[in-house]
Amino acid sequence: MNSLIITLIVVLVLAVFLIIFRISNLAGILRSKGKDVEEIDTTANNINAYLFLLLPLLGTIAAFWYAAKHATLWGQPDAVSHGAAYDSLSKVAHIVIILMFLITNAALFYFTFKYRHKKGNKATFYPDNTKLEIIWTIVPAVILTVLVFTGWKLWRDVTKDAPSNAMLVEIMGKQFNWIARYPGSDNKLGGFNFRYTDDVNEMGLDFTDKNVNDDFQATELHLVKGRPVRVQIRARDVLHSVSFPHFRQKMDAVPGQPTKMWFTPTKTTEEMREELRKNPEYLKPDPSTTKGKPEDVKARWETFDYELVCQEICGRGHFSMRMRVIVHDEDDYKKWLAAQKPFVESNKEYVAKKIEAITKDKAGKISIENSKKVNKTN
Amino acid sequence: MASDVAHAHDVHAHEEHHEHHDTFITKYIFSTDHKMIAKQFLITGILWAFVGGLLSILFRLKLGFPDMDYSWLKPLLGKWVSMQDNGTGQLDPEFYLAMVTMHGTIMVFFVLTAGLSGTFSNFLIPLQIGARDMASGFLNMLSYWFFFASSMIMLASFFLDGGPAAGGWVVYPPLSALPQALKGSGSGMTYWLVAMTLFIVSSLLGGINYITTVINLRTKGMTFSRLPLTIWAFFITAIIGLLSFPVLFSAALLLVFDRSLGTSFYLSDIFINGQALDHTGGSAILFQHLFWFLGHPEVYIVLLPALGITSEIIATNARKPIFGYKAMIGSILGIAILSFIVWAHHMFVTGMDPFLGSIFMFLTLIIAVPSAVKAFNYITTLWRGNIRYTPAMLFSIGLVSLFISGGVTGIILGNNALDIYLHDTYYVVAHFHLVMGSASFFGMVAGIYHWFPKMFGRMMDEKLGYIHFWMTFMGVYLVFFPMHFIGIAGFPRRYYEFSAYAAFRDEVYLNLNSFISIAAAVTFGAQLIFGFNFFYSIFRGRRATQNPWNSNALEWTAPINAGHGNWEGQIPFVYRWAYDYSKPNCEKDGFTDFIPQNVPYSMTPHSNLPHENEMIEIEKEEMIPHDTTLSTLSVLAKK
């Protein structure tokens, strides 16, 4: 019944509009009869001109007002050694482009308004001016060059090789979660082969490689404040992307082509929560906690966590492919580390069987290779 | 009706065929008249635009109102809305991705490439350069019908069991190559590849025709330095397309091989669904290089025609010559060349060598310079003009604004250090929707309003046009401007919802997303006004006059409802460029404020510039004695 009424109302409103349109149309035709030359409708022309002045102005004011109102919210808080450099570069570049945006749009709309058609006016015949052209080729070029060079420096700092004291972690993406692998006490990650993957050995580890023995896996990423971390990245099935918004880093995970990144976290999770507690934007409730009982409601600073965000479309579960990241101080990290057990130790029986299978597989390959050679010589 | 010229020829050639009437099929379906083919492209493009727009509204609802009950959309979406125990309907996450993918594919290729280039290159090239038709009317017809076949296949893919392709419009493998990874990568992806292959064929057939026609069929006097900027833009666009679309074809072909024949061009070391695949040695990044070698020029394939159209409309309605005609051509050429060497800026974080990233950053930021020059030239063209706001003019000014607003964020994204954080966020979505999507869309709509009288012999309603413009212009800003804030917060593209992440759970962002969705729905609603205006005016619009905008360009010298062949009798010769608006002293020569291209300098002694007076001698010797259109000219030019 409701939908019937709504449909009827919509139909009626449309019909009214149609009638108004038709009447104004016919009236227009009547009015223009008797004039031989089609004249420009000055009223409509002026309305448009004033709107060009008014609406962009209102829009800009509204945008700036809203941006200022939540000024401490925008972006994500940074917790990485190159974060300050990144944020200041971003700030400078944004100020430059906002100025460009304002000046050029203002000129556009002001000229549009000012030089609206007036009866008897004639436009100025002004086909070119080489000097002007040169100026506005060179000025943007210079501004861009300055921006480029500051960006280039940061880019090289971020993409250069990790420092030698960096800790090593491997992150593997698969539909639809992440697995981290730590190298253990030898600080070496053991080898892997995607063909050895199964439900238990999710990362396809090659257990015949001695370096695997002390590697351990985690579903949350644990890092240390102040210690650079070198992340080796791979994907098991399709493209994924390792994105750390708070660490201003991002790198795709590509099947068959390992990638890498490094960065240095500068604040522990706890420190960051305390810092955010001072920000009024983070005193608001986390919307995901407001649906239950009132006592369950938590503020945003309380539910804050560093996160790994999947940023390359990877299928059905792309939007929820999250990994929690915890930054410890040295002591806490050591405690956590002590509680971790190497994969090989906690899956002894499985690993023994798997080593057999892998050894057979390797031998089989050799024999296939050999038989091929034999065939060729025949 | 067949043109009288063609008619006359037929009478001479075969007397028995003197009843040369087009049947419905040869006139409206398998037509070889460039004007009819343009209309076919246009109407197909408009229908596609509504499909693409509707898709965006459907998925924006999910983004703006994550808890919305989709059950009322079940009649439309069928099994893609699953009913929960509590009676509410949930949109399927894979169909969400499918809608995002199809929105992108449809808008970029079917609307803004075929609908824009296909329409206006076809319509304007022969009319503005003074040709009877395209170099090959038959290939031109094939071009449309390949596009039509492509459209039908793409449309059919919506009704497949697994849904249409869903791996994003960029269809990166391995996701797009493995049906195990995504339902849409099954037959949906096969349909996508077949449709795109046909689309590429269509595009190449069209492009070859545009290039050949512009080079060979210009009327006497129409030198390259007198071509309207529309034609320059279409011409260069066609060349870009001709060079880049084959690369997309090869990328698609290798993907077909990987999908169907077991090759490993893009696939390597994959374990999926409990199974290790045999593919080894391929590179998923190779596809991205091939794709973006088309993909980036494609941005300019979409944008340049819109800029060309804008140049013409702004000059006409500001009653001023376009400022810096030569600089405009120079920047079109600069953009075209640079567009081929910036593609890897889409790939800064794919693991590409950082040094290569630096190179591509420098090249990318160079392309901002010719773009800036174009924007400044448009603004200067408006300066001291005498501006008349036709709906076309409004949309053209809107285009310049959107082009600037979307363009400046390119400076941020092209800076690879800043791109690390912003890559694949809503910041990118905001950027390209403004600078490429909306700007080109505005160009297309401006073109429709401007050349509608030439196409259908009737006018579109101006008042509805004004309402359409203001709703769309405000709407586009209200949709895409807030996306910058969401992007700066790091919100990833192609997310079904954001609730899994603490970083994105803030009521401000929730509100902004709802706001964007509402604005998008209203903007889409405004397009219905346009749809009504367009189709209504074809049949019931006011009859157009010969030259309703007092334009200089050659198309307005053709009869109002021109037949196949465009001009009755001789094609007019061209004596000057297309931008002699408000020339000093032109009143003394008997003109109001414009001197059409087919008026010889010898008829305008008072307003000629010194170097133009020198042309008079050449004109008198080489052209005027052969120009039979001059006798009727005074009637046409002087109102």
Between B408, B462, B470, which is nearest A100 by CB? B408
Task: Say if the Cβ atoms of A117 and B94 lie within 8 Å.
Answer: no
Contact residues, chain B, for A63 at CB < 8 Å: 481
Give the residue from B316, B367, B501 with the most A CB atoms within 10 Å of its CB, the best one to mutate: B501
- Whether the upstream peptide bond of residue A304 has omega within 30° of 0, thus cis, is no
Among residues A272, A309, A304, the alpha carbon closest in space to that of A286 is found at A304
Lowest mean pLDDT segment, chosen from B22-31, B257-266, B461-470, B566-575: B22-31
- Whether the upstream peptide bond of residue B246 has omega within 30° of 0, thus cis, is no
Task: Say if the Cβ atoms of B349 and A250 lie within 8 Å.
Answer: yes
Distance CA A213, CA A206 (A): 10
Which amino acid type is present at position B335?
I
Between B172, B358, B478, which is nearest A239 by CB? B172
**Measuring CA to CA, how many Å separate A252 from each of A42, A259, A312, B349?**
57, 7, 7, 6
User: Higher model confidence: residue B4 or residue B260?
Assistant: B260
Contact residues, chain B, for A126 at CB < 8 Å: 320-321, 323, 380, 383-384
Give the residue from A237, A273, A279, A290 with the most B CB atoms within 10 Å of its CB, the best one to mutate: A237
**Tally of CB atoms within 10 A around B29:** 14
Is-contact B126 B451, C-beta < 8 A? no
Name the token pair of A258. Answer: 């390992």
Average pLDDT of every residue of chain A: 90
- The helix-helix angle for B119-129 and B229-256 (nearest 10°) equals 140
Residue spans of the domains in chain B: they are 1-30, 34-540, 554-637
- pLDDT per residue as tens digits for the range A167-225: 999 999 999 999 999 999 899 999 999 999 999 999 999 999 999 999 999 999 999 99
Lowest mean pLDDT segment, chosen from A21-25, A121-125, B91-95, B203-207: A21-25
Chain A nearest-CA residue for B499: A288
pLDDT band for position B389 (cuts 50, 70, 90): very high
**Tally of CB atoms within 10 A around A140:** 21
pLDDT of residue B254 exceeding 90, the answer is: yes
Contact residues, chain A, for B581 at CB < 8 Å: 123, 125
Task: Say if the Cβ atoms of B404 and A148 lie within 8 Å.
Answer: no
Is-contact B187 B159, C-beta < 8 A? no
pLDDT of residue B512 exceeding 90, the answer is: yes
Task: Say if the Cβ atoms of B324 and A140 lie within 8 Å.
Answer: no
Q: Cβ neighbours of residue B86 under 8 Å, at least 6 residues apart? A: none
Distance CA B242, CA A154 (A): 38
Distance CA A67, CA A172 (A): 38
User: Higher model confidence: residue B625 or residue B241?
Assistant: B241
Give the residue from B383, B428, B515, B532 with the most A CB atoms within 10 Å of its CB, the best one to mutate: B383
Q: What is the pLDDT of residue A38?
A: 60
- Tell me the shortest Cα–Cα distance from A331 to chain B, in angstroms: 26
**Measuring CA to CA, how many Å separate B441 from each of A109, A188, B108, B602?**
20, 54, 10, 41
Task: Say if the Cβ atoms of A148 and B362 lie within 8 Å.
Answer: yes
Q: What is the mean pLDDT of residues B345-353?
A: 92
Name the token pair of B228. Answer: 């309207």
Contact residues, chain A, for B473 at CB < 8 Å: 55
pLDDT of residue A373 exceeding 90, the answer is: no
Chain B nearest-CA residue for A317: B93
Contact residues, chain B, for A260 at CB < 8 Å: 351
Chain A nearest-CA residue for B459: A25
Q: What is the mean pLDDT of residues B395-417?
A: 95
- Tell me the shortest Cα–Cα distance from A64 to chain B, in angstroms: 11
Is-contact B204 B241, C-beta < 8 A? yes
Taking CB atoms and an 8 Å cut-off, how many pairs form between chains A and B? 356
Distance CA B404, CA B62 (A): 30
Distance CA B418, CA B431 (A): 14
Chain A nearest-CA residue for B406: A101
- pLDDT per residue as tens digits for the range B468-487: 999 999 999 999 999 999 99
- pLDDT per residue as tens digits for the range B194-236: 999 999 999 999 999 999 999 999 999 999 999 999 999 999 9
- pLDDT per residue as tens digits for the range B99-135: 999 999 999 999 999 999 999 999 999 999 999 999 9
- Tell me the shortest Cα–Cα distance from B226 to chain A, in angstroms: 14
**Tally of CB atoms within 10 A around B625:** 10
Task: Say if the Cβ atoms of B404 and A100 lie within 8 Å.
Answer: yes
Domain extent at residue A276: 167-353
Q: What is the pLDDT of residue B21?
A: 67
Q: What is the pLDDT of residue B15?
A: 40
**In sequence order, what DSSP letters do the residues of B525-550 get, joined into one string?**
HHHHHHHHHHHHHHHHSPBP-SSTT-
pTM score above 0.90: yes
Task: Say if the Cβ atoms of B417 and A89 lie within 8 Å.
Answer: yes
Q: What is the pLDDT of residue A372?
A: 57
With a pLDDT cut of 90, the percent of chain A lying above it is 74
Angle (nearest 5°) at CA A58 between A53 and A61: 125
Distance CA B243, CA A182 (A): 48
Neighbouring C-alpha atoms within 13 Å toward the C-beta of A138: 6
Average pLDDT of every residue of chain B: 92
Contact residues, chain B, for A10 at CB < 8 Å: none
Chain B nearest-CA residue for A26: B542
Contact residues, chain A, for B326 at CB < 8 Å: 128
pLDDT of residue B72 exceeding 50, the answer is: yes
Q: Could you tell me if residue A292 is inside a domain? A: yes
- Tell me the shortest Cα–Cα distance from A190 to chain B, in angstroms: 17
Give the residue from A61, A136, A150, A290 with the most B CB atoms within 10 Å of its CB, the best one to mutate: A136
Q: What is the pLDDT of residue A174?
A: 95
Q: What is the pLDDT of residue B14?
A: 42
Q: What is the pLDDT of residue B627?
A: 84
With a pLDDT cut of 70, the percent of chain A lying above it is 94
Contact residues, chain B, for A124 at CB < 8 Å: 320, 383-385, 582
Q: Could you tell me if residue A53 is inside a domain? A: no
Is-contact A242 A308, C-beta < 8 A? yes
pLDDT band for position B623 (cuts 50, 70, 90): confident
CA B637 to chain centroid: 32
Is-contact B440 B300, C-beta < 8 A? no
Q: What is the mean pLDDT of residues B85-105?
A: 94
- pLDDT per residue as tens digits for the range A66-118: 999 999 999 999 999 999 999 999 999 999 999 999 999 999 999 999 999 98
Distance CA B189, CA B194 (A): 9
- Tell me the shortest Cα–Cα distance from B148 to chain A, in angstroms: 30
- Tell me the shortest Cα–Cα distance from A267 to chain B, in angstroms: 16
Task: Say if the Cβ atoms of B369 and A144 lie within 8 Å.
Answer: yes
CATH 1.20.210.10 fits B34-540, yes or no: yes
Task: Say if the Cβ atoms of A147 and B175 lie within 8 Å.
Answer: no
pLDDT of residue B365 exceeding 90, the answer is: no
Task: Say if the Cβ atoms of B508 and A90 lie within 8 Å.
Answer: no
Chain B nearest-CA residue for A90: B418
Q: What is the mean pLDDT of residues B172-186?
A: 94
pLDDT band for position B7 (cuts 50, 70, 90): very low
Backbone angles phi, psi at A251, to 5 degrees: -155, 135
**Measuring CA to CA, how many Å separate B168 from each of A239, A251, B240, B293?**
12, 19, 24, 17
- Tell me the shortest Cα–Cα distance from A158 to chain B, in angstroms: 8
Strands of the sheet with A259-263, listed across from one edge: A216-218, A177-182, A167-174, A229-235, A259-263
Lowest mean pLDDT segment, chosen from B427-436, B522-531, B588-597: B588-597
Task: Say if the Cβ atoms of B463 and A24 lie within 8 Å.
Answer: yes
- pLDDT per residue as tens digits for the range B449-462: 999 999 999 999 99
CATH of the domain at A256: 2.60.40.420
Contact residues, chain B, for A107 at CB < 8 Å: 379
- Tell me the shortest Cα–Cα distance from A83 to chain B, in angstroms: 11
- Tell me the shortest Cα–Cα distance from B156 to chain A, in angstroms: 22
- Tell me the shortest Cα–Cα distance from A327 to chain B, in angstroms: 16
Q: Could you tell me if residue A372 is inside a domain? A: no
**Measuring CA to CA, how many Å separate B59 from each of B113, B177, B320?**
23, 24, 44
Lowest mean pLDDT segment, chosen from A284-298, B210-224, B344-358: A284-298
pLDDT of residue B404 exceeding 70, the answer is: yes
pLDDT of residue A377 exceeding 80, the answer is: no
pLDDT band for position B84 (cuts 50, 70, 90): confident
Q: Could you tell me if residue A216 is inside a domain? A: yes
Q: What is the mean pLDDT of residues A23-28?
A: 79
Domain count across chain A: 1
Q: Could you tell me if residue A47 is inside a domain? A: no
Neighbouring C-alpha atoms within 13 Å toward the C-beta of B398: 33
Task: Say if the Cβ atoms of B182 and A125 lie within 8 Å.
Answer: no
Task: Say if the Cβ atoms of B420 and A249 lie within 8 Å.
Answer: yes
Task: Say if the Cβ atoms of A156 and B358 lie within 8 Å.
Answer: yes
- Tell me the shortest Cα–Cα distance from B130 to chain A, in angstroms: 24
CA B411 to chain centroid: 23
